[in-house]
């Protein structure tokens, strides 16, 4: 969920869009918003959205009399058809709109029952002889950063609930993000270090919406340098104008490595940097992914700014598997698919975790 900032200077907005310099503030904001998507958004074809037609539909509705509220409503209507979880529109620190991914079964079924969902996981671990879960790191919302446990059979469990330590790590300055990266990796290494002697490990990133440092954490499970994926970045000049594919390689971490069997639990709530973590590991020979494909929203978040302290973000990158399969909207494939239902959770049953235990046995 790393964010790149695009500074949309209002005084240049008319020049950037070819518009007349006497445009009103609402008109300039509309033009800047539309043009930023026009030049940088990566998935118009995937989502079958004609952005030029979007302009033709909504531009006539914006005039000098358009209120801030009316402008915000129009911008939201413009991007809703894209169904992209990395699209946001904010007013200062208040999020006015956040897109929803097409693949959202986890969110639709379990967002309102998070405590029950993880209680079912705790119950499955207890029944399998694991010690009570212990939380590690700061709490954001209802959950701590990490949860660890070990079974009487010397199997470890490590749940990573998000890919940032504290909210400032993803909402603050670059300096705060770098500090958060250091804190996240230190806490992750602390938890993994406690489990490094286990004969096998369950790593649970279900429902992890991302943050940063996914690839860096994955290095702790990497035996040798390996191509993990390609990235292409959208360029101005055409809706299908992209940079050449840039290869990404994972290399072993010198500080700490776990080189025994791993069951990696994922679902379509596993997004952004958490997906990069999975993408880097799912082809490793000792790693078995279990559950469901990840969300399929891997791009960094490209940020634009408008007047009245409004901000917005969009997806500007395409991530490809090593065979150049596009992963957006599809997710990182899971090796052992296991469905999970609300009824199972209500009965404190975790079919995915049960399969992981069986696989490791």
Secondary structure element (H or E) that encloses residue 247, with its range: strand 246-250
pLDDT of residue 169: 87
Q: Which of 236, 319, 235, 241 is nearest to 280 (CA)?
A: 319
CA dist., res. 17 & res. 30, Å (int) = 10
CATH number at residue 63: 3.30.750.44
Helix or strand or coil: residue 206?
coil
Burial class (CB in 10 A: 0-12, 13-18, 19+), 343: exposed
Asked if residue 157 and residue 262 are part of one domain, the reply reads yes
Q: Per residue in 84-121, pLDDT tens?
A: 999 999 988 788 999 988 888 999 999 899 999 999 99
CB-CB neighbours of 182 under 10 Å: 12
Q: Per residue in 267-279, pLDDT tens?
A: 999 999 999 999 9
Q: Is the pLDDT of residue 249 over 90?
A: yes
Asked if residue 243 and residue 145 are part of one domain, the reply reads yes
Residue 220 CA to its chain's centroid (Å): 20
Q: Which of 3, 8, 4, 6 is nearest to 307 (CA)?
A: 8
Instruction: Give a yes or no: residue 309 inside a domain.
Output: no
Q: Is the pLDDT of residue 74 over 50?
A: yes
- Domains of the chain: total: 2
Q: Which of 48, 66, 98 is the last residue of a domain?
A: 98
Q: Which of 52, 79, 98 is the last residue of a domain?
A: 98
Asked if residue 111 and residue 87 are part of one domain, the reply reads no
Cα-only R_g, the chain = 22
**Can you name the residues that pair with 17 across neighbouring β-strands?**
none
pLDDT of residue 312: 95
If one compares 77 and 20, the residue with the highest pLDDT of the two is 77
Crossing angle for the helix pair 351-360 and 114-127, to the nearest 10 degrees: 30
Q: Is the pLDDT of residue 15 over 80?
A: no
Instruction: Answer for the pair 301, 240: CB distance below 8 angstroms, yes or no.
Output: no
Secondary structure element (H or E) that encloses residue 90, with its range: strand 88-91
Instruction: Give a yes or no: residue 87 inside a domain.
Output: yes
Q: Which of 250, 185, 246 is nearest to 211 (CA)?
A: 185
Asked if residue 88 and residue 143 are part of one domain, the reply reads no
CA dist., res. 302 & res. 232, Å (int) = 14
Instruction: Give a yes or no: residue 129 inside a domain.
Output: yes
Asked if residue 73 and residue 52 are part of one domain, the reply reads yes
Q: Phi/psi of residue 245, each to 5°?
A: -60, 125
Q: Per residue in 19-71, pLDDT tens?
A: 456 899 999 999 999 999 999 999 999 999 999 999 999 999 999 999 999 99
Task: Give the chain's end-to-end CA distance (angstroms, integer).
Answer: 35
Instruction: Give a yes or no: residue 261 inside a domain.
Output: yes
pLDDT of residue 21: 61
Could you say which DSSP state residue 333 is in?
A: P
Q: CB under 8 Å to 325, separation ≥6 — which residues?
A: none
**Backbone dihedral region for residue 238 (phi beyond 0: left; psi -120 to 50: alpha; all else: beta):** left
CA dist., res. 347 & res. 342, Å (int) = 9
Q: Which domain holds residue 45?
A: 3-98
């Amino acid at each position: 969920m790393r964010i790149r900032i695009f500074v949309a200077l209002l005084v240049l907005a008319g020049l950037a869009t070819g518009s007349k310099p006497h445009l009103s503030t609402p008109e300039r904001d509309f033009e800047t918003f539309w043009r930023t998507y026009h030049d940088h958004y990566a998935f118009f074809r995937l989502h079958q959205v004609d952005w030029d037609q979007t302009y033709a539909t909504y531009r006539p509705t914006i005039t000098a009399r358009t209120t801030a509220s009316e402008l915000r409503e129009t911008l939201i209507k413009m991007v809703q058809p894209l169904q992209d979880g990395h699209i946001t529109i904010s007013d200062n620190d208040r999020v006015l709109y956040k897109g929803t991914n097409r693949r959202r079964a986890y969110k639709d079924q379990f967002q309102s029952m998070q405590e029950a969902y993880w209680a079912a996981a705790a119950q499955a671990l207890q029944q399998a002889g694991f010690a009570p879960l212990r939380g590690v790191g700061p709490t954001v919302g209802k959950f701590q950063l990490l949860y660890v446990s070990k079974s009487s059979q010397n199997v470890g469990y490590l749940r990573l609930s998000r890919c940032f330590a504290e909210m400032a790590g993803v909402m603050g300055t670059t300096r705060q993000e770098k500090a958060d990266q250091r804190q996240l990796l230190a806490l992750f290494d602390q938890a993994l270090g406690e489990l490094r002697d286990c004969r096998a490990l369950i790593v649970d990133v279900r429902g992890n919406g991302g943050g940063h440092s996914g690839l860096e954490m994955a290095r702790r499970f990497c035996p040798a340098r390996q191509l993990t994926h390609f990235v292409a970045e959208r360029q101005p000049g055409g809706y299908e104008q992209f940079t050449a594919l840039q290869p990404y390689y994972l290399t072993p971490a010198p500080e700490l490595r776990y080189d025994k069997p791993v069951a990696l639990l994922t679902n379509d709530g596993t997004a952004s940097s958490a997906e990069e973590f999975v993408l880097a590991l799912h082809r490793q020979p000792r790693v078995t992914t279990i559950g469901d494909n990840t969300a399929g929203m891997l791009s960094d978040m490209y940020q634009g700014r408008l007047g009245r302290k409004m901000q917005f973000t969009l997806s500007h990158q395409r991530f490809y598997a090593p065979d150049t399969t596009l992963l957006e909207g599809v997710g990182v494939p899971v090796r052992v698919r296991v469905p999970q239902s609300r009824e199972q959770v209500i009965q404190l049953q975790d079919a995915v975790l049960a399969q992981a235990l069986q696989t490791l046995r």
